[in-house]
Structure 1
Amino acid sequence: MKISFIATYPPRQCGIGTFTKNLFDAVTGSQGNNKSQGIVIAVDENMQHYDYPKEVVMSIRQEEQADYLKAADLINISGVDICILEHEFGIFGGQNGIYILPFLYRLEIPFLVTLHTVLKNPSYNERAVLKEICKLAHTIVVMNKTAVEMLVEEYEIPASRIVIIEHGVPDIHFDQKSSKKEFRLSSKKVLLTFGFIGRNKGIETVLMALPEVTKRYPELVYIVLGKTHPNVIRHSGEEYRVYLASLVQKLKIEKYVIFLNEFISESELFKYLSAADIYLTPYTGEAQISSGTLSYAIGAGTAVISTPYWHAKELLANDRGRLFPFQDVSALRDILLDLLDNPEEMEKLRHNAFAYGRGITWAKTGEKYAALSAGIVADQPDLKERKEQVLNPLILPPFQLDHVLRLTDDTGIIQHAKYGIPNLKEGYCLDDNARALLMVLMAYKRNKHPLALQLSPTYLSYINYMQREDGAFRNFLSFNRSFLDEVGSEDAFGRAIWSLGYLLGNAPNDAYYQTGREIFFDAVPNFHLLRSMRGIANTVIGICYYLKSNPMDEEMIRALRDLSDKLVAEFEQHKGPDWAWFEPILAYDNGLLPLSLLHAAEFIKDGQVARTGFESMEFLAGITLQNGYLSIVGNEEWYKRNGVASGFAQQPLDALAMVLMYHQAFRLTRDQAYVSKLYTCFMWFLGENDLRISLYDFETKGCCDGLESYGVNRNQGAESTLAYLISYLTVLEAFEEVTKMQAEVL
């Protein structure tokens, strides 16, 4: 039998990785008597690369969705019989780890999943992702009865599909006396806490209990062994460790506390556990369904004192440890003194823990996983029913901002380019900086793209700089920062409102939000002055994005209705038996008009807005998608009523509008046919067009400016590149939404 393991893996410093390494060794024969073959698919952190051992045949970049699909394809041709997935929130990419779902859909072999965390009160997305994983899995493995109960009650998973296999522990033994001697602790009473450090570990509770304990036992020492958790480092640095150090000083217990900021081997860890008289897990909340550190302490036969989180309540039952209430300093102090005063009671806890630990060694855990896997393979489950693919992101080039960075300086994004080189002579415009802000906000929302966050204040500050005192905007700025117009177009005004509206619902931080809000509301008095349909349409979309996070703003809903009514009135005026459009021609950025009404339909429920949006969308599709691929109305002569569509000067902006239009139609209806059309429209950028040639430049990472009669316009300005990137992000978002919807159906 050949097994594939999917998880984090050493040398990445991660508790799940350590678990997977031990399980791999146990199942493949490095520990115990199992002789299965195995390979590992390891999950990397963003921007990290590790020197993995030979069993790792591929690594997945956490936030690169295409990597997951490539990994599934690799497994499918590798002769693997079954996969074992180690699931923990935070190790897989996408919102709440949703990127693992397309990987699982693509597998052609069964898999079982080990759940390291089961949340009692999950968010909607957390619940949806975990339920879908469980539905796709042949068997769900958890580590205690509490997890089974939660899966049955909270996630509606049949108990018959859940198996309990407790967390394994190394079969390592050290004598306490010799271990203490090695660490020069022979004369000490040793308390120990180990594992990744973070505020949820509650170490301050132990520190505050120590002054009273050390008065009676001055030979006591408390060792806190472990590095700060990498996620904590990223978000808060060493703030918690600094707090603990200052608390030690405040309590005047410096000589009783040792912080060891290390990630040590299991062998070294068991020496510390053997040397410890008492092991402490003073976690601050109950929501921990498994704790490898607690399992290791039991396996080493250590006397344990813990707060009553879920795993501890179960593992420390039957006199295998003592429990005290969360953050109860006095209760912890009393238990410590009781055990130190009564060494025979401490020895009983150690004896019971060690006896229990003999039954959960990795060798025995590996045997259980191997037997379970063999049974699943013998069952030969039919996987055909779940195989439904809507999109295939594997064929997409990687998402890269190289050309956007090339076009951007400290003023904003340059309008135009000579081939892939910024054309400084043309300066900047509000249209493109608004699009650029929208794109980087989308990219940062999706996967916290660091370059997107770096670029965003440049575009926002440009928009702010171009706003007049009356709230309107200038559009064009020369390279030497001279204004080139007094008042910009209504199109540019609307695009600025669109990006600002999106910002107000997706701001990376409060400074961005407050700046965007001031600019947005300074512009509001100009809304009723708009006459250009595309200016109105862009503004409508911006208002709708604002309303997503401020749905009770009645004044803004009235403004939305007024502007939407203008578009509907234009549609009714020009509509005829063979013409369902807003004007007597199809001009530029056509999909924007139905797109805006489909957005407005989320907030205006009288039906006419939605009907107009869908009717105009179908009319546009009948002209541009009649050959099975997107054939954009060109800007040479446009398309006059009863005329012929212009075939060239096809612009990326039109493809973007079509992609966004179908995405919004899907969101309103949940009809996957719209996602298929969305994908068809996006493929215009990659060669599914009239000239059968890609507009995306794989060398520069920019997008060419359009299709001309002679071929591709090789200039790669901001508008075209941003149209491609926003479309790309929309495709990924739609793919994720379809995956989530399939999960809900299943």
Structure 2
Amino acid sequence: MKFAYIGTYPPRECGIGSFTSDLYHSMVGDINQNKNEGFIVAMNNSDEKHLYPREVKLTIQQENRNEYIAAAKHINKSGADVCILQHEFGIFGGRSGVYILSLLHRLKIHLVVTLHTISNNPSYTEKAILKDICKMANVVIVMNLKAIDFLNDIYDVPREKIAFIEHGVPDFHFDQKTIKKEFKLEKKKVILTFGFLSRNKGIEVAIKAMPKLVKKHPNVIYLVLGKIHPSVMRASGDEYLQYLRQLVKSLSLEDHVIIPNEYVPQEDLFKYLYASDIYITPYNNEAQITSGTLSYAVGAGCAVISTPYWHATELLANGVGRLFDFHNSNQLSDILIELLDEPETLNAMRKKAYEYGRKFTWPEIGAKYNKQVFNTLQDEIENKGQYFDILVMPPFSLKHINRLTDNTGIMQHAKFGIPNLKHGYCLDDNARALLMALLAFKVKNNYKALEFCPIYLSYIQYMQNENGTFRNFLSFDRSFLDEVGSEDSFGRTIWALGYLLANSPNASYYESGRSMFLKAVPIFEKLKSVRSIANTIIGISYYLQRNPSDDSMTELLSRLSVKLVESYEENSSDNWRWFEPFLTYDNAMLPLALLHSTEIHNDDRIRKTAFRSMEFLISKTFSNGYLSIIGSDGWYEKDGKRATFAQQPLDAMAMILLFKQAFKIKKDIEYLNKLFKSYMWFHGENDLRISLYDSETNGCCDGLESYGVNRNQGAESTLAYVISHLIVLQAHKDFNRELFAQKRSSTKNVREFN
């Protein structure tokens, strides 16, 4: 899956920037060994210039509305599946950050929003903006349970749209004694506060608590690690910092309170957290729904003392930390003295905080975000049909198939939408037509399709030679045009016959298909073409669904699969994971065959080859977020340039079949996404943004050319479209059935648990 993240980003000095970076690396990076992709859209202040890391692909100047609109276009074209927004009013332009709406309203992908600030007394504009953002979002993530009530009661956000995921913490580990020695603090009791400084942080309250503490514990120091918040600095300079330093001086605490006014890198920050004995967040009021500094302190296993703002009240419950009243320096002094007087109590608090903090390290939080996004997309499929939006699919029709089919078989070519009798019939198309008819009856219960089956079956039977091979071409006057057809036509016929044996609607068709299939078996191991081998593997796999005890056929399947794997191993390299030194036609059939074989053999070598080659093919055909088929006008040779045009519908069908089988094995919802995108290639989501499906004829144009579409509508292209249409419907039905089963199982488990 591919994510687009919007937020501030390092090296910009901002707490949300650190959060965005940690979230990105936990979802996309190597922390969870996932295969996600992502990029950052970074928010800038107009006077800032930063040297961003390579994952930042775009920046937005906070007060430039046009750049928000341009960013929406960039994201929509990027191939991203989900946009993940970090929302804080102050990082976006316009009144109360209204400019972000210009971007969000133009997004054409899913939206996940993490809210860092939620007011229980918002201004009219703040409330209107946040309501609008939440309405557009597929899921709204909060880091405090109280925030769920606020969103529901004040902003009218449905509870089922809200997810609670804790603020993540980096997974650093340091030894306190070693770090204290490094910082020359081994003889000191260290009390720490860190974060951007502003008047609502209440640092003066903690400073006023120090004189009483220093009398009892003269080896104490209070380290206020951080610098003046940039927005405070722009508004009033370092006034607050000078106030704090003057307060320190007036209380004669120069040797006990240190305020360096520096932004500390994350790793150094955690060293200070591990070096500290007690951590304080003395905020001045309760209206703080999320505090990253508090989460960091708990995650590092600090003994935390805090005023009872919203996040602290929740996070420090059950003995994880201690609370003191707002502005109450004397109460804070007493708690500090108590803890330093009782090392066992202090250490017990540290241990409890550390154990609790293990639950929300960034690897854990990244996994929760990935799961939440996955579940959200599942809900979209069930409720809105995002990936199987059958409302955008035209009605299923066999009109053009009927037009092309006569008593002999299906004719291979058409001039525009009219059958071209001059070119007669071919085995490839009649095999595909048999597959289509069986699939249409299975998926749509279409009896017209069932009536086609004897026609296509009789054509195949007529073309089979006594030695098991098949002729391919037949003229319109029913004269043979060849003695032995191509290996490709042989393989496609075995695929269709195998599918018939697994899905036969009656005994007569089954016996006819079985006779032809078994007669052809001696040819299987003589095949040289990798595509004919692949199609034959698929046919055997279907045959074994009905005949699982046929050991000789199982062994034959294994040998043919190994042939494909060996071809892959002979031709692949680090940057070319493929079965041949070129990509040509029907490419997806090669990994598809191994995925079918994997279902039967569960062979790790076959499975790895299937998925590696599939991912390679995806990388060459989905780089722009839509299916871009390798063109037959030059193909794509290794170390050469790929041909863009003369794209064939057959390849789109093969990709759809591949993604359906991949989802069946891995249950990765991204394959469903790509399945539907591959189908939409027929309807204009392609390099030219032109539809190949003809709603007047119900046929499919023969290819995508540099000048537009080839308007001829032969059997191959139309069958590829109709089969693709049916596979989408079948995948939709199968997925919903599985989703229902999972929910029923989940409900059963909950009942048993209760």
TM-score of the superposition, structure 1-length normalised? 0.51
Alignment partner, residue 356 of structure 1: 356
Alignment partner, residue 214 of structure 1: 214
Q: Distance in 2 between matches of 1:255 and 1:106?
A: 56
Is the 1:140–1:162 Cα contact (8 Å) retained in structure 2?
yes
Q: 2:196 is aligned with what amino acid?
A: F
Alignment partner, residue 579 of structure 2: none
Q: Distance in 1 between matches of 2:313 and 2:44?
A: 33
Alignment partner, residue 5 of structure 2: 5
Alignment partner, residue 229 of structure 2: 229
Alignment partner, residue 178 of structure 2: 178
Q: Deviations over 1:89-132 (max 9, x none)?
A: 10011111111112111001111100001001000000000010
Alignment partner, residue 45 of structure 1: 45
Q: Deviations over 1:336-375 (max 9, x none)?
A: 1111111111111101100011110100100111122223
Is the 1:108–1:383 Cα contact (8 Å) retained in structure 2?
no
> Which contiguous aligned blocks of 4+ residues in structure 1 show a shift greater than 4 angstroms?
380-384
Alignment partner, residue 100 of structure 1: 100
Alignment partner, residue 343 of structure 2: 343
Structure-to-structure mapping, 1:269-284, within 5 angstroms? 269-284=269-284
Q: Distance in 2 between matches of 1:34 and 1:162?
A: 25
Q: Deviations over 1:310-350 (max 9, x none)?
A: 00000000101100000001111111111111111111110
Q: Distance in 2 between matches of 1:324 and 1:83?
A: 40
Q: 2:355 is aligned with what amino acid?
A: A
Number of aligned residue pairs: give it: 384
- Point out where structure 2 has 5 or more consecutive residues left out of the alignment: 388-754
Alignment partner, residue 657 of structure 2: none
In our comparison, the structure showing a higher alpha carbon Rg is 2
Secondary structure of the structure 2 residue equivalent to 1:85: strand
Q: 1:238 is aligned with what amino acid?
A: D
Is the 1:4–1:75 Cα contact (8 Å) retained in structure 2?
yes
- Bigger RCO (CA 8 Å, 6+ sep): 1
Alignment partner, residue 189 of structure 2: 189
Structure-to-structure mapping, 1:489-504, within 5 angstroms? none
Is the 1:27–1:35 Cα contact (8 Å) retained in structure 2?
no
Is the 1:34–1:367 Cα contact (8 Å) retained in structure 2?
no
Alignment partner, residue 205 of structure 1: 205
Alignment partner, residue 377 of structure 1: 377
Q: 2:228 is aligned with what amino acid?
A: T
1:332 maps to 2:332: yes
Tell me how far 1:34 sits from its aligned partner: 2.5
Q: 1:13 is aligned with what amino acid?
A: E
Alignment partner, residue 136 of structure 1: 136
1:77 maps to 2:77: yes
Is the 1:72–1:103 Cα contact (8 Å) retained in structure 2?
yes
Alignment partner, residue 314 of structure 2: 314
Tell me how far 1:29 sits from its aligned partner: 2.3
1:250 maps to 2:250: yes
Q: Distance in 2 between matches of 1:329 and 1:286?
A: 17
- With over 3 angstroms needed to count, the CA separation of the structure-2 counterparts of 1:30 and 1:113, relative to structure 1, is same
Q: Deviations over 1:640-672 (max 9, x none)?
A: xxxxxxxxxxxxxxxxxxxxxxxxxxxxxxxxx
Q: Deviations over 1:502-533 (max 9, x none)?
A: xxxxxxxxxxxxxxxxxxxxxxxxxxxxxxxx
Q: 2:34 is aligned with what amino acid?
A: N
1:112 maps to 2:112: yes
Superposition CA RMSD, Å: 1.3
Q: Distance in 2 between matches of 1:210 and 1:304?
A: 16
Q: Distance in 1 between matches of 2:34 and 2:140?
A: 21
Alignment partner, residue 623 of structure 1: none
Q: Distance in 1 between matches of 2:195 and 2:7?
A: 19
Q: Distance in 2 between matches of 1:154 and 1:332?
A: 34
Q: Distance in 2 between matches of 1:361 and 1:103?
A: 31
Tell me how far 1:49 sits from its aligned partner: 2.1
Alignment partner, residue 453 of structure 1: none
Alignment partner, residue 161 of structure 1: 161
Is the 1:45–1:62 Cα contact (8 Å) retained in structure 2?
yes
Q: Distance in 1 between matches of 2:85 and 2:7?
A: 6
Secondary structure of the structure 2 residue equivalent to 1:30: coil
Is the 1:33–1:363 Cα contact (8 Å) retained in structure 2?
no
- With over 3 angstroms needed to count, the CA separation of the structure-2 counterparts of 1:382 and 1:198, relative to structure 1, is farther
Structure-to-structure mapping, 1:390-401, within 5 angstroms? none
Q: Distance in 2 between matches of 1:312 and 1:121?
A: 19
Q: Deviations over 1:690-737 (max 9, x none)?
A: xxxxxxxxxxxxxxxxxxxxxxxxxxxxxxxxxxxxxxxxxxxxxxxx
Q: Distance in 1 between matches of 2:206 and 2:282?
A: 7
Is the 1:110–1:376 Cα contact (8 Å) retained in structure 2?
no
Q: 2:79 is aligned with what amino acid?
A: G
Is the 1:4–1:80 Cα contact (8 Å) retained in structure 2?
yes
Q: Distance in 2 between matches of 1:212 and 1:60?
A: 49
Is the 1:281–1:294 Cα contact (8 Å) retained in structure 2?
yes
Q: Distance in 2 between matches of 1:309 and 1:324?
A: 10
Q: Distance in 2 between matches of 1:329 and 1:376?
A: 46
- Point out where structure 1 has 5 or more consecutive residues left out of the alignment: 385-746
Tell me how far 1:383 sits from its aligned partner: 8.7
- With over 3 angstroms needed to count, the CA separation of the structure-2 counterparts of 1:190 and 1:112, relative to structure 1, is same
Q: Distance in 2 between matches of 1:328 and 1:318?
A: 22
Tell me how far 1:382 sits from its aligned partner: 7.1
Q: Distance in 2 between matches of 1:224 and 1:31?
A: 31
Alignment partner, residue 28 of structure 1: 28
Q: Distance in 2 between matches of 1:47 and 1:195?
A: 22
TM-score of the superposition, structure 2-length normalised? 0.50
Tell me how far 1:155 sits from its aligned partner: 1.1
Percent identity over paired residues: 53
Q: Deviations over 1:57-96 (max 9, x none)?
A: 1100101111111000011111110110000110011111
Tell me how far 1:153 sits from its aligned partner: 1.4
Alignment partner, residue 68 of structure 1: 68
Q: Distance in 2 between matches of 1:92 and 1:290?
A: 19
Q: Distance in 2 between matches of 1:126 and 1:383?
A: 30
